[in-house]
Amino acid sequence: MAEKRAENNKSIRVAPFITILFFLIMGMIGIMTGEVGRVLAQAVQVCLSCIGIG
Amino acid sequence: MELVRKWVQTILALLVNGSWSFPYTRTIYQGPLKVVCSPGLNCYSCPAATTYCPIGSLQQLMAGIRVALENGQNFFGLYVIGTMGVLGGIFGRLICGWACPFGLIQELLHKIPSKKFSIPQKLNYIKYGFLLFFVILLPLLIVDDFGYGEAWYCKYFCPAGTLEAGLPMLILQPSLRQTIGILFYNKLAIMIGFIVWSVLASRPFCRTACPLGAFYALFKNLKLVKLRLVEENCTQCKECHSVCPMGVKFNESPENAECISCLKCMDKACKFDAITLEIAGLPIGSRDKAGTRRPKQTDAII
């Protein structure tokens, strides 16, 4: 049983967790620099030239 | 499973387009949910959109990076890239198959009876060019006298924006019709082109021109949830080729960047348990229908 569990543990891929953690930290830095407000300010405006009008 | 996927696609499309007051307000939703990232491609200038489009936001941040820095604001797009990266790290292109409203539209268009065509594999690389040049480099490098760049992909190409935002806004605000010109007609032609192509071929936009799909494709080896080929069970019958909406030959290239994990190959095609879904390397499910599984070599020995 212990051998089987050890075998299963060996097959767990670590790379996805490192990737997610990396981007999570990146996103949190973005939040701390106030980028969320900038994204919101952009998203609540209709950018006419961005949709090919005007 | 296909029915479940269709339900998930529909529910998520309605959630990211959940503001239905636009016939009265005649403009877009402007509430706080707009700080939430839409996992799939969904224009945030769509009148019903409740979330922001990561590709649109990223271009805007790239286009305004010089001015932001001059004003002492360190806006490098880290929040948007971080959010996209977390989604990509967990799901990768599974999002294209399960959570993208524009992917759902293409799937519905492809159900229209017509002669069907395949898409040359080489065209798959175009979307990486769109991501690199139209989303990052051109908005960042080509700026006006005031230091502002442009959202090149949205402005000159995005058919999702034309369909979800451009046309609805022209209907809601008739005064805007006087301002349209060659730029809009060009985008309209691109949109019509992709609509016709979607009837004739499966998911042409996702495969050739979607920068968000290109970004998620970069996580093909790093994503948490993915399909895995169990080689000892595979008979090379190639049934998985015929059902894949992205033209992936799963038994030949199980790590293919085009795989959107729609599970059709696992659920509909493979009768031999050769394709399983795994999370971080641990299998969590496979097709398991009594009487359809091929006896393994080990069974024969026993």
Residue range B247-252: mean pLDDT, rounded? 92
- pLDDT tens readout for residues B132-147: 999 999 999 999 999 8
Whether residue B117 sits in one domain with residue B37: yes
Distances (CA, A) of A40 to A43, B6, B33, B58: 5, 30, 9, 12
Residue range B224-241: mean pLDDT, rounded? 92
Whether residue B161 sits in one domain with residue B84: yes
- Provide the token pair at B264: 């059709």
Q: Which one of B56, B80, B176 has the shortest CB-CB distance to A50?
A: B56
Q: What is B171-190 written as a DSSP string?
A: HH-GGGGGG--HHHHHHHHH
CA dihedral B16, B21, B23, B24 (to 10 degrees): -160
Whether residue B289 sits in one domain with residue B171: no
Give the model's pLDDT for residue A51.
Answer: 78
B178 pLDDT exceeds 80? Answer: yes
Last residue of a domain, one of B160, B188, B217: B217
If you count residue pairs, one on A and one on B, with CB atoms under 8 Å apart, how many are there? Answer: 161
Whether residue B244 sits in one domain with residue B165: no
Residue range B68-80: mean pLDDT, rounded? 91
CB contact under 8 A, A30 and B79: yes
Spatial strand order of the sheet with B275-279 comes to B225-229, B275-279, B282-286
User: Which domain covers residue A19, as residue numbers?
Assistant: 2-51
- pLDDT tens readout for residues B198-232: 999 999 999 999 999 999 999 999 999 999 999 99
- pLDDT tens readout for residues B8-25: 999 999 999 998 888 888
**Cα B100 to Cα A31: distance, rounded to the nearest angstrom:** 25
B300 pLDDT exceeds 80? Answer: no
User: Which domain covers residue B190, as residue numbers?
Assistant: 2-217
Whether residue B197 sits in one domain with residue B128: yes
Whether residue B205 sits in one domain with residue B75: yes
Q: Can you give the three-state secondary structure of A12-26, one letter per residue?
A: CCCHHHHHHHHHHHH
**Cα B206 to Cα B118: distance, rounded to the nearest angstrom:** 14
Whether residue B109 sits in one domain with residue B238: no
Q: How far is A5 from chain B (nearest CA, A)?
A: 12
Whether residue B281 sits in one domain with residue B148: no
Whether A9 contacts chain B with CB within 8 A: no
- Provide the token pair at A40: 């919101």
Whether residue B203 sits in one domain with residue B142: yes
B96 pLDDT exceeds 70? Answer: yes
* Across B106-110, B157-161, B285-289, least confident range: B285-289
Q: What is the ipTM score, two decimals?
A: 0.88
What is the pLDDT confidence band of residue B159, given thresholds at 50, 70 and 90? very high
Whether residue B200 sits in one domain with residue B130: yes
Residue closest to B215 by CA, chosen among B75, B40, B64: B40
Q: How many domains does chain A contain in total?
A: 1
Low-confidence ranges of chain A (pLDDT < 70): 1-10, 54
Interface test with B, best of A12, A21, A33, A50 (most B CBs within 10 A): A50
CB contact under 8 A, B82 and A29: yes
Q: Which one of B73, B84, B183 has the shortest CB-CB distance to A52?
A: B183
